């Protein structure tokens, strides 16, 4: 089946020579084509050209997209979108001066979300979570990673991951799952953090892998959560069971998470609000994708990940939403794109590459999505917004996506 889109005002994010990722100065460049046609064959990009220069290819179906621009599907590589409800009361506590860490230390935060999720009916949790995923897709996200981590006991972690898999079977977007049992220490292990780590190693991780429910393993390695030593043990055990590592690191302090990510060969190290020269040097000697989560910095009023220093060091850099009920209740990567520019001083093109190709790379999906390249999944979205590469992050707070196509099919 060959489908042809004609009279497209502009196509952005084209790769003639596909790269696995963009680093340093390369991130400021995006390939665009004006007054174009785009050919999709069997759900994959098959070619493109200029309306008045290149002859139109034959197709089974042809659609005119006059006045619309096209961007590749966005990749949200870090979400916690399966949750029971927002933590509005904690938000009000923070508005009055309490900090995220104080609330967590008093048994709120992630533990509050876990208590709610454990008692929530699986069907209702599925419906709510699916609804959120559909909103993410409507905003142009065509690949979404979903973490567990609000169960914190075997049956509830499995419940979350089964729901994530079920969502993956019921939407056309690409869904990847991550086991985050080491997100916080649950009340039944209070004061016995090492015992909880053993419990994850001996019971939870084998159960998750036994059912094939996770594509990656993640640990919240930070002040007040899991130590670098505990994290490394967990990630090494996961690797033996075939799960690559992703990691929450350096959100609250410098606690060795970046170094652990490098030793464990993690695919990404996410957050990095607190990093220094040592961490940047460590990233330079690794294959770890640094990932910034500006929605968290905005909502918690904490420092932003130093994107300019990371990119200035010649590194690649990705951005994700961290969509969750406590620290980053944002589902739109368009908003993340805007925050990346306004708050982290990334150029619109850099932040765009950070939520498309580099984000795909952080999930090792750069060969199938993240840009418009021959043979990649035809994941893309259309917009009526002219000059989309600048105007989408500029006019923040509205959804610029008109139609979203997942593997060549309109959502």
Specify the residue, 322 or 366, whose C-beta has the smaller distance to ligand NIG: 322
Applying CB under 5 A, which part among 183-191, 284-292, 310-318, 321-329 lies near Fe ion? Answer: 321-329
Residue 296 contacts which entry, ligand NIG, Fe ion, none (Cβ below 5-8 A, type-dependent):
ligand NIG
**Which residue is it, tokens 């142009």?**
140
What does the DSSP 8-state code read for residue 150?
Answer: S
The structure tokens listed for 120 are 């929530």
Distance in Å, CB of 330 to ligand NIG, minimum: 11
Specify the residue, 248 or 407, whose C-beta has the smaller distance to ligand NIG: 248
For residues 345 and 308, what is the distance between their CA atoms, to the nearest angstrom?
A: 7
Residue 326 contacts which entry, ligand NIG, Fe ion, none (Cβ below 5-8 A, type-dependent):
ligand NIG
Asked whether the beta carbons of 370 and 63 are under 8 A apart, the reply is: no
Residue nearest ligand NIG by beta-carbon distance:
326
Residue 322 binds to Fe ion (criterion: CB under 5 A) = yes
Distance in Å, CB of 78 to Fe ion, minimum: 6
CA angle 13, 16, 20 (to 5 degrees): 75
Distance in Å, CB of 183 to ligand NIG, minimum: 6
Specify the residue, 72 or 108, whose C-beta has the smaller distance to ligand NIG: 108
Q: Under 8 Å CB-to-CB from 118, ≥6 apart: which residues? A: 151, 153, 156
Specify the residue, 156 or 328, whose C-beta has the smaller distance to ligand NIG: 328
In sequence order, what E strands does 330-394 have?
380-383
Distance in Å, CB of 272 to Fe ion, minimum: 12
- CA terminus-to-terminus distance, the chain: 18
Specify the residue, 132 or 248, whose C-beta has the smaller distance to ligand NIG: 248
Asked whether the beta carbons of 100 and 43 are under 8 A apart, the reply is: no
Specify the residue, 79 or 230, whose C-beta has the smaller distance to Fe ion: 79
Distance in Å, CB of 111 to ligand NIG, minimum: 9
Distance in Å, CB of 77 to ligand NIG, minimum: 12
For residues 39 and 130, what is the distance between their CA atoms, to the nearest angstrom?
A: 31
Distance in Å, CB of 109 to ligand NIG, minimum: 5
Residues that bind ligand NIG (CB under 6 A): 80, 109-110, 113, 220, 248, 251, 296, 322, 324-328
Nearest CA to 75 out of 408, 398, 411, 354 is that of: 354
Residue 143 contacts which entry, Fe ion, ligand NIG, none (Cβ below 5-8 A, type-dependent):
none
Distance in Å, CB of 83 to ligand NIG, minimum: 7
**Number of residues binding to Fe ion, judged by CB under 5 A:** 1
Residues 66-85 that bind Fe ion (CB under 5 A): none
Query: Can you say whether the dihedral through the CA atoms of 265, 269, 274, 278 is positive or negative?
Result: positive
For residues 232 and 246, what is the distance between their CA atoms, to the nearest angstrom?
A: 11
Give the C-alpha distances (Å, rounded to integers) separating 182 from 43, 111, 222, 246, 373: 37, 12, 11, 12, 37
Residue 15 binds to Fe ion (criterion: CB under 5 A) = no
Specify the residue, 221 or 264, whose C-beta has the smaller distance to ligand NIG: 221
Residue 244 contacts which entry, ligand NIG, Fe ion, none (Cβ below 5-8 A, type-dependent):
none
- Between helix 154-170 and helix 122-138 the angle, nearest 10°, is 50
Asked whether the beta carbons of 70 and 352 are under 8 A apart, the reply is: no
Specify the residue, 222 or 322, whose C-beta has the smaller distance to Fe ion: 322
The structure tokens listed for 341 are 């520019």
Binding site for Fe ion (CB under 5 A): 322
């Amino acid at each position: 089946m060959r489908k042809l889109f004609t009279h497209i005002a502009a196509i952005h994010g084209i790769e003639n020579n596909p790269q696995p990722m963009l680093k340093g100065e390369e991130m400021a460049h995006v390939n665009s084509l004006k007054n174009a046609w785009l050919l999709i064959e069997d759900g994959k990009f098959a070619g493109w050209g200029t309306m008045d220069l290149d002859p139109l290819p034959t197709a089974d179906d042809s659609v005119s997209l006059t006045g619309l621009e096209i961007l590749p599907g966005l990749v949200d590589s870090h979400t916690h979108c399966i949750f029971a409800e927002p933590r509005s009361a904690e938000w009000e506590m923070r508005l009055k001066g309490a900090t995220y860490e104080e609330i967590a230390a008093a048994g709120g935060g992630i533990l509050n979300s876990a208590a709610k999720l454990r008692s929530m009916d699986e069907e209702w949790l599925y419906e709510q979570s699916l609804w959120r995923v559909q909103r993410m897709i409507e905003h142009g996200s065509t690949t979404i990673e979903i973490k567990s981590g609000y169960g914190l006991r075997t049956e509830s972690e499995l419940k979350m991951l089964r729901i994530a898999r079920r969502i993956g079977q019921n939407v056309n977007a690409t869904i990847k799952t991550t086991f985050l049992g080491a997100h916080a220490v649950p009340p039944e292990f209070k004061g016995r953090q090492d015992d909880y780590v053993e419990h994850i190693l001996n019971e939870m991780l084998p159960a998750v892998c036994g059912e094939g429910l996770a594509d990656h393993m993640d640990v919240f390695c930070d002040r007040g959560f899991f130590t670098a030593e505990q994290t490394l043990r967990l990630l090494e055990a996961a690797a033996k069971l075939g799960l690559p590592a992703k990691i929450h690191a350096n959100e609250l302090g410098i606690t060795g998470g970046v170094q652990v990510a490098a030793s464990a060969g993690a695919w990404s190290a996410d957050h990095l609000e607190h990093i220094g020269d040592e961490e940047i040097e460590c990233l330079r000697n690794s294959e770890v994708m640094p990932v910034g989560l500006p929605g968290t910095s905005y909502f918690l009023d904490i420092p932003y990940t130093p994107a300019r220093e990371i990119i200035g060091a010649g590194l690649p850099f990705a951005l994700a939403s961290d969509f969750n009920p406590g620290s980053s209740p944002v589902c739109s990567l368009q908003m993340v794109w805007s925050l990346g520019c306004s708050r982290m001083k990334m150029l619109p093109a850099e932040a765009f590459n950070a939520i498309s190709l580099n984000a795909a790379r952080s999930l090792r999906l750069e060969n199938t999505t993240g840009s418009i390249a021959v043979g990649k999944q035809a994941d893309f979205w259309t917009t009526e917004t002219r000059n989309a590469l600048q105007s989408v992050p500029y006019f923040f707070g509205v959804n610029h996506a008109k139609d979203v196509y997942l593997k060549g099919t309109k959502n």
